[in-house]
Amino acid sequence: MKKLIKSVIPSIIGSALTIAVFLLIGFNREDSNRPIQKQEQLQVHNALYTVKENGEFVPLDFTGVSKGVMNSVVHIRSTHKVQATSNSFYNNQRNPFGDMFGDDFFRFFQGTPDPRGKQQGQSEPFVQMGSGSGVIISSDGYIVTNNHVIDKADEIEVTLHNNETYKAKVIGTDPSTDIALLQIREDKLQGLSFGNSDLSEVGEWVMAIGNPFNLRSTVTAGIISAKGRNINIIDDQSAIEAFIQTDAAINPGNSGGALVNLKGELIGINTAIASPTGAYAGYGFAIPANIVDKVVGDLLKYGMVQRAYLGIMIRNIDGNLIKDEKLERSEGTYVDSLMENSAAAEAGILAGDVITGINDTPVLTSSDLLEQVGRRRPGDEVEVRVDRSGKEMTFQVKLADQNGERKLLAKKQMDIIDVLGVKLEELDRDTAGKLGIEGGVRVTEMGNGLLKNQTSISEGFIITGINHDRVTSVNDLRKFLKQEKGGVLIQGIYENYPGELYFAFGLPE
């Protein structure tokens, strides 16, 4: 009996498979003469496939994507000359290449700093070197990276996948999003195309390409584990953080590298990691490609980022806020207060409202709101949905800049002092006489601009010259800078520090 069962089972299985095959090709007795229909078959090439919500088949084959994007990711080395001194002014300065590896859990992850030469307390300069990654976005040499990779660098060197090396020029930076745009002199490069980061989904496969620990052209794979993350790592008053979170392995040196989907499209610029040690511990964070695309477009077209604001102070909704304000919803962004010249106030939004959406995009957290507004320019109109004491309302808001203006600024319309990003005051004669100078202009406040992004000048610095032309007033400074193009040498003193100091920076063309 057992032998009979053993022989029957294979026969049944074989018969069932035969019947299934006949059914698939459309065979039946009533229409045996009908031509066999040719079936469309999916070519698998030894790869698994995943199916997206729209029914699209996406191959889980990393080899083809790797080959396609590798030539678009570069290695960046940045050099910063530091004047070592025992004076407390220099000892307290921010080290742009060394402070990425402090005790904070969230960290930027450019390559390990390499201080060479002199120790603290000696007067001779030494060199600090940092490394990171970048992404070629056009055939004529434009490269995107993180601002913290090249911040305050005196020299930037870019090495392509084929080991060719170039000197790079800074086209523009945006500390608020930690984006920098560089260019090298080459016109036959392979640029990486931007994908729509809004369409990327949690659970989707992605690949990270960069240069961790100076290991060139390293590829890792993982999934998107979250979107819209705010980790409070960008040190800027107008910071925009809505990171794509991924578990693809990324480490120091990956900063500025590419996060791509399985179509080979750029969906993010890798920027930070969550780690108690400074090395990979499971989670990395990338700036969404849609934000990068907007920032780069502004830098190329206007020479600066045209940032739009609603003009509100916001808070994330949590249990305490729900209880204190008796809110009827747990998602959205709470409007804590409105600023002067507020675009939101002009449209009718009030303190206490909960913003739930911008145009067709839901707003679940403050990061969602910052991302949506940060991708727009002054003068753009958006539809803002709010919950006011349980009642859904919609407002048409015309966004403004930080000063309440609703128009874009061209390069030629900008005051050169605004480009520097500083507030200034002219020295009176008595102060100038005590310092032994003819006159000068003191930096009273450092904002987001060229001097902050490209030099280590601090508040209190007294500007006395531009390219060896004597500066005694703000008008002198404005006049000399308008005459210059490209590199500028600025000289001056600190009131309580001996000797004259020199700093170099580049004016946008």
Structure token digits, residue 261? 């989907």
CB distance 354 to 389 below 8 Å = no
CB distance 180 to 124 below 8 Å = no
Burial of 244 (0-12, 13-18, 19+ CB in 10 A): buried
CB distance 379 to 270 below 8 Å = no
Out of 72, 255, 367, 456, pick the active-site residue. 255
Active site residue 318: no
Crossing angle between the packed helical segments 289-302 and 366-374, to the nearest 10 degrees: 30
How far separated are the first and last CA of the chain, in Å rounded? 92
- Which phi and psi angles does 234 have, rounded to 5°? -80, 120
CB distance 133 to 73 below 8 Å = yes
CB distance 312 to 344 below 8 Å = yes
Cα–Cα–Cα angle for 130, 297, 486, rounded to 5 degrees = 60
Out of 78, 131, 148, 342, pick the active-site residue. 148
CB distance 211 to 202 below 8 Å = no
Give the contacts of 31 (CB within 8 A, at least 6 positions apart).
none
Active site residue 148: yes
Please give the single-letter amino acid code of residue 151: D
Out of 178, 368, 401, 476, pick the active-site residue. 178
CB count within 10 Å of CB 430 equals: 8
If we measure between CA atoms, which residue out of 178, 180, 182, 223 comes closest to residue 200?
A: 223
Q: Provide the b/e sequence for 397-410 (b: ≥16 CB within 10 Å).
A: bebbbeeeebebbe
Active-site positions read 148, 178, 255
